């Protein structure tokens, strides 16, 4: 293992998982629950930000806190994709382009030809 920064989230996740889950015990079910928990935490912070925007009494949150939770969501999603052999960058670009086409918008992500199974090369 290297202490040097990794160039991509996937590379960092691969290295950290090798260090953290040395026995390969973490299941897809665990990852799904982990993702649901992180999404729930992000949604709770959005609720608090909206509460503040509307001037309703209650606890508050910051955009910085939300940024951390959204980062956790992305990290968890990549871990699930990694476990299933999904190229998440490609899958996101393919889905983005497919949605743009479906709703008649010109905006596309570059470098992706939609063919075959989403996210698989």
Q: Do 34 and 74 fall into the same domain?
A: yes
Closest CA to 7 of 81, 52, 31, 15: 15
**pLDDT of 113 higher than 90:** no
Torsion of CA 51, 38, 65, 13, to 10 degrees: -160
Q: What sign for the dihedral angle of Cα 90, 91, 96, 102?
A: positive
Q: Do 44 and 94 fall into the same domain?
A: no
Q: Do 96 and 75 fall into the same domain?
A: no
Question: What pLDDT score does 31 carry?
Answer: 98
Q: Do 92 and 80 fall into the same domain?
A: no
Q: Do 47 and 100 fall into the same domain?
A: no
**pLDDT of 121 higher than 80:** no
**pLDDT of 112 higher than 90:** no
The total domain count for the chain is 2
Q: Do 61 and 16 fall into the same domain?
A: yes
Per-residue pLDDT tens over the stretch 52-106: 999 999 999 999 999 999 999 999 999 999 999 999 999 999 999 999 999 999 9
Q: Is residue 121 part of a domain?
A: no
| Structural domain that includes position 100 | 87-115
Tell me the whole-structure pTM to 2 decimals: 0.85
Per-residue pLDDT tens over the stretch 3-56: 778 889 999 999 999 999 999 999 999 999 999 999 999 999 999 999 999 999
Q: Do 64 and 105 fall into the same domain?
A: no
Q: Do 106 and 59 fall into the same domain?
A: no
DSSP output for 67-104: HHHHHHHHHHHHHHHHHHT--HHHHHHHHHHHHHHHTT
Question: What pLDDT score does 5 carry?
Answer: 85
Q: Do 78 and 50 fall into the same domain?
A: yes
């Amino acid at each position: 293992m290297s202490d040097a920064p990794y160039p991509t989230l996937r590379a960092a996740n691969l290295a950290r998982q090798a260090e953290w889950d040395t026995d390969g015990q973490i299941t897809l079910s665990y990852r799904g629950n982990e993702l649901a928990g992180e999404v729930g935490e992000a949604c709770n912070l959005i609720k608090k930000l909206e509460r503040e925007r509307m001037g309703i009494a209650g606890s508050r949150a910051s955009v910085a806190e939300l940024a951390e939770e959204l980062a956790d969501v992305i990290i968890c999603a990549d871990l699930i994709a990694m476990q299933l052999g999904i190229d998440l960058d490609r899958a996101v670009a393919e889905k983005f382009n497919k949605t743009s086409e479906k709703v008649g918008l010109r905006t596309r992500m570059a470098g992706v030809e939609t063919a075959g199974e989403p996210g698989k090369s």
